[in-house]
Amino acid sequence: MRYTVDSSASTQLHITGKGRNGRIGSIRLFQNGEACAEAYFKFPGYETFFLSWEEHTEYEVEMENLDVSLAYRFRPESVLEQGVEFMEFGEDIRIIDPKHLDGAFCQQYRNRHHFSPFKGWMNDPNGLCWFNGYYHAFYQYNPNGQKWGNMHWGHAVSRDLLHWTHLPIAAYPQIELNGCDGWRGGAFSGSAVVHDGIMQLFYTRHFGKNDRSMQRQWQVTKESRDGVRFTHEESCIWGTPEGVDWNFRDPKVTYLKDRWVMVVGGACHNRPSVFQYWSEDLKNWTYGGILYQETNPRYAIAECPDFFCLDGKYVLIAGYINSDAEQQERDTLYYIGSYKDGVFSIENQGLMDYGRDFYAPQTFSHEGRRICFGWNCCRDGAHIEEEGGANGTLSLPRELSLKDGKLAGTVITEMHALMCEAAEPGPFYLRLESEAEEGMTELLLADGPSASLCLQIEKGEVRLLLKGKMGRQQSGEFACAFLADSPVKTVEAYVDCALVELYLNAGAQACTRRFYIEKAALRPVLKSGNFRIAEYKGIRSIWGADSDKEV
Ligand code: FRU
């Protein structure tokens, strides 16, 4: 195929792809008929090439035997504001306007007010921070399919934590994984700190066999001065503490009291553990022992720990892989306590979310608020792949606080800017209120020709019920059910195209669930019970042209 394209204001072209049918794929650029850049995709797996070109110049792009999974162009100096321009190669080149992604995000199950990558798979939020006027969110990313694959760090920035601009990928899987059948790995989860005008990332490199007979995880770091381009990656913690098999990942770095503290998740003598390291300069790290070890036999490995100070207490968050390998379910727990001389003494603990589809949360602090994003996973494997779709989103941003000794989270108030009159069925926000709940309250949230999603509240129990036929998702059973900690007075629901987030009693408890209901009409229908609808608003897409207009 040969295309003609004007480079417009971009100076770089990133192409990820692989050769078709086991052959070598190629891309060549021509200017005025002269070849000026070329790349050959020779490995069996996906490879990325970075080509430079001149701005506002016409090129011919020639591709042979190449399956492109992701392509975009940009100019590093202006990409924070402009975003990358995704490119699709069909009969013609299609260039997608980064300010109007809603046109490309038209799939039935694509969530509209939750962040998702342009296409592909995402999991954990990584490297959350505020740097030089922008909120930065990185995330575990596989652009080459809608399932987990060798990990990249996707990257996006936002001015308000709601509308996001996609940036170039910030970290790639190791080159040696390329075409290494039976091996996997990449740039696993981690965090960012901003210090002395520099953004510094810490994350895990993973290299291992799919059958798990050989696994390695080590911690690395790199820096950026402009929030877009990074220095060469260096390893910062290579070995593991005594008793660690290989599960040793997801460094989260925070300044606590008078030094930098890095927490790392894993297992020690087969117990899920969070390890701590200390540093004065973010370069030299001293092992400070185990910060916390979970004794619940249900859990095997701790992942994505986060440790921070909130309202005068210390809070540890950790995700847990189930000890029953067949069990896909993973829980995220929080612990509240005090922290002195490297010892964390727990006073209270609880679940971060009572649904199944909120995991690996990460927090950061900005202007006195502790903001948390989680990953909306899909634990029951029910995701329906759609052309150009994405699997996984960032949760809505929650502001954390301590309430009655527990960790509470409410969606940030900026969210109101997305709300509008609820005229049509579509993504919505709803607040239910009751003085004292009585009988069974039943409220339909989404209704399709062959399936529905319903909220039930009865005797202090909150249930999400999936009824009918919904792809591979199991129906006729409670998608989630949990007991409220205290009498249910308010329930807030944020309903997106394939995802619901519930917040009870001003964020005292939360519940997140993905759902796949064909041709779902999203709107609340109160069937029974003594709750009343106190507020009902539409929620605009975060990707649309008019998405940032005030109501
Ligand atoms: C959590 C996790 C992390 C790891 C990453 C890999 O979902 O398993 O522990 O770094 O995902 O994608």
For the cut 50, the answer to whether the pLDDT of residue 547 exceeds it is: no
Output the CA 56–ligand 1 centroid distance in Å: 41
Structure tokens at 428: 């919505």
- Cα–Cα distance, 390 to 377 (Å, whole number): 11
Mean pLDDT, the chain, whole residue set:
94
Please compute the mean of the pLDDT values over residues 441-460 and round it to a whole number.
Answer: 95
Please compute the mean of the pLDDT values over residues 431-457 and round it to a whole number.
Answer: 95
Residue 549 confidence (pLDDT): 40
CA nearest 126: which of 329, 327, 296, 360? 360
Which amino acid is residue 59, in one-letter code? Y
Q: In this structure, are residues 276 and 293 in contact, taking their beta carbons and an 8 Å threshold?
A: no
CA nearest 292: which of 259, 315, 309, 258? 315
Query: For strand 120-131 and strand 390-391, is the pairing parallel, antiparallel, or unpaired?
Result: parallel
Q: In this structure, are residues 163 and 150 in contact, taking their beta carbons and an 8 Å threshold?
A: no
Q: In this structure, are residues 360 and 124 in contact, taking their beta carbons and an 8 Å threshold?
A: yes
Task: Confirm whether pTM is higher than 0.95.
Answer: yes
SS3 (DSSP) at 484: coil
The domain made up of 418-539 has a fold known as Jelly Rolls (2.60.120)
* Residues that are catalytic: 124
**DSSP secondary structure code for residue 397 in this structure:** P
**pLDDT per residue over 229-275, tens digit each?**
999 999 999 899 999 999 999 999 999 999 999 999 999 999 999 99
**pLDDT per residue over 140-197, tens digit each?**
999 999 999 999 999 999 999 999 999 999 999 999 898 788 999 999 999 999 999 9
Residue 14 confidence (pLDDT): 98
Query: For strand 2-6 and strand 58-64, is the pairing parallel, antiparallel, or unpaired?
Result: antiparallel
Q: In this structure, are residues 464 and 454 in contact, taking their beta carbons and an 8 Å threshold?
A: yes
Examine domains 115-395 and 418-539 and report if their fold is the same: no
Q: Is the CB of 360 under 6 A from ligand 1?
A: yes
**pLDDT per residue over 136-151, tens digit each?**
999 999 999 999 999 9
Task: Please report, rounded to a whole number, the percentage of residues in the chain having pLDDT higher than 70.
Answer: 97
SS3 (DSSP) at 80: helix
Q: What is the Cα gyration radius of the chain?
A: 24
Q: Is the CB of 151 under 6 A from ligand 1?
A: yes
- The residue contributing the CA closest to ligand 1 atom 8 is 303
Q: Ligand 1: which of 121, 122, 140 to mutate, judged by most atoms within 8 Å of the beta carbon?
A: 140
Q: Is the CB of 80 under 6 A from ligand 1?
A: no
**pLDDT per residue over 47-73, tens digit each?**
999 999 999 999 999 999 999 999 999
For the cut 60, the answer to whether the pLDDT of residue 130 exceeds it is: yes
* pLDDT band with cut points at 50, 70 and 90 for residue 473: low
Q: Is the CB of 415 under 6 A from ligand 1?
A: no
CA distances from 145 to 22, 141, 262, 386, 434 (A): 18, 10, 32, 11, 45
Dmax (CA) for the chain in angstroms is 77
Q: Is the CB of 331 under 6 A from ligand 1?
A: no
Q: Would you list the DSSP string of 73-118?
A: EE-TTTHHHH--EEEEESSSEEE--TT-GGGT---TT--SSS---S
For the CA of 330, the nearest atom of ligand 1: 7
Q: Enumerate the β-bridge partners of residue 348.
A: 336
- Cα–Cα distance, 285 to 484 (Å, whole number): 42
Residue 480 confidence (pLDDT): 87
- Where in the chain are the domains? 2-96, 115-395, 418-539
For the cut 80, the answer to whether the pLDDT of residue 551 exceeds it is: no
Residue 470 confidence (pLDDT): 66
Structure tokens at 17: 């792809």
Output the CA 380–ligand 1 centroid distance in Å: 17
- Cα–Cα distance, 149 to 151 (Å, whole number): 6
Output the CA 502–ligand 1 centroid distance in Å: 25
CATH 2.60.120 for the 2-96 domain, yes or no: yes
**pLDDT per residue over 383-429, tens digit each?**
999 999 999 999 999 999 999 999 999 999 999 999 999 988 999 99
SS3 (DSSP) at 421: coil
For the CA of 303, the nearest atom of ligand 1: 9
CATH 3.40.50.2300 for the 115-395 domain, yes or no: no
**pLDDT per residue over 324-353, tens digit each?**
877 778 999 999 999 999 999 999 999 999
- Cα–Cα distance, 35 to 42 (Å, whole number): 20
Q: Is the CB of 303 under 6 A from ligand 1?
A: yes
